[in-house]
Structure 1
């Protein structure tokens, strides 16, 4: 596996070594020792989640606050998404900067999103299965988010707004200005 730090400090794009032949392929999707060596920190994942969505579904931008903040290792096992991570660490040199990367079942790339980031994605194929590991338990009282069309972030979701399929909850998320008054 190879890892490349993105423009966001501590946020890594990981690409597995794939072994293939006429029977198919094999790759190691997670190895704790190798993963921690590549990202330079100890991460104890405690929960795995999976979401199935159809084209145009936009989920995010989500994060958990305080002691319930979560680091995530995300990947797509069917289809493709544009995956977005936003640095919300006020003391970071990349505070309020974001990245958008394509994760797909074809490229098998993963993104490590450290604690202190908002995260979201939009499905760009007919359907997608999105999987992610979390290093902290989900706590409803600690969930928060930033509205997908925040003017400060100006994220290019690569779809026209009328194509988005967004939950009512996600349509009511805060702006950056509201969160960081």
Structure 2
């Protein structure tokens, strides 16, 4: 019992949680419970997960900012290799923090998990040479239900670490790079999302 520590409403945004599992280690390595429904419920987190996903990305890859419109997903995310800067943006129109963002570095060393409930846009930037990213979802992936938000919307003002560049009126990766010279790498889709005032909200 009590294998997790939960920080709720991080960044002053209701619903966002940072979860730190208890890690039991010695000279041979370590063991930890990556998920326990019992411990989550004891912490007041009663979401039901229906799908697990995993991705692998190289340095400079930025995925996001994504959401599903009719079938929104809550996500419990973590990194098992490398490091990413993970971001959530509040798109709940009735929220006092609508349009506000919070970001956290997730690494294989800190083993932190980040819970983003339904009603948020989500994305991450890979800071290591390679990153493996795992997440649990509260709803299934629904093709055709995807929505997105421009990762560099100046109104939101996400402070992506190590990223250098200047907003030029679109979500294009052109003109951006990491401090060590690595190129910013976005999918074609992620370079076409609209800014907050022109996008979907919950």
The answer to whether the superposition gives a TM-score over 0.5 is yes
- Partner residue in 2 for 1:112: 115
Tell me the CA shift for residue 37 of structure 1. 2.8
TM (norm. structure 1) is 0.95
In structure 1, the residue corresponding to 2:144 is in which secondary structure? helix
Greater Rg over alpha carbons, structure: 2
For residues 92-150 of structure 1, the C-alpha deviation after alignment (integer angstroms, 9 at most, x for no partner) is 11111111100010000000000001000000000000000001011122110101111
Is 1:17 the equivalent of 2:22? yes
Unaligned segments of structure 1, at least 5 residues: none
CA distance in 2, matches of 1:139, 1:48: 14
Q: Tell me the equivalent position of 1:46.
A: 50
What residue is the counterpart of 1:99 in the other structure?
102
Distance in structure 2 (CA, Å) of the matches to 1:169 and 1:33: 38
Alpha-carbon distance in 1 for matches of 2:89, 2:7? 17
Where does residue 145 of structure 2 map in the other structure? Answer: 142
> Which deviates more from structure 2 when the two are superposed, residues 83-92 or residues 40-49?
40-49
Q: Which has the higher contact order (CA 8 A, sep 6+)?
A: 1
* Alignment partners' CA distance in 2, 1:88 and 1:33: 29
Q: Normalized against structure 2, the TM-score is what?
A: 0.86
The structure with the largest helix share of the pair is 1
Specify the alignment match of 1:176 in structure 2: 196
SS of equivalent to 2:104: strand
Q: 4+ runs of 1 displaced by more than 6 Å?
A: none
2:186 match: 166
SS, match of residue 177 in structure 1: helix
Q: Distance in 2 between matches of 1:179 and 1:36?
A: 34
Q: Name the CA distance, whole Å, in 2 between partners of 1:177 and 1:122.
A: 23
The residue number in structure 2 matching 1:130 is: 133
- How far apart, CA to CA, are the structure 1 residues paired with 2:97 and 2:146? 22
Query: 1:180 deviation in Å?
Result: 5.7
RMSD of aligned Cα (Å): 1.2
CA 1:115/1:104 → structure 2, altered by over 3 Å: closer, same or farther? same
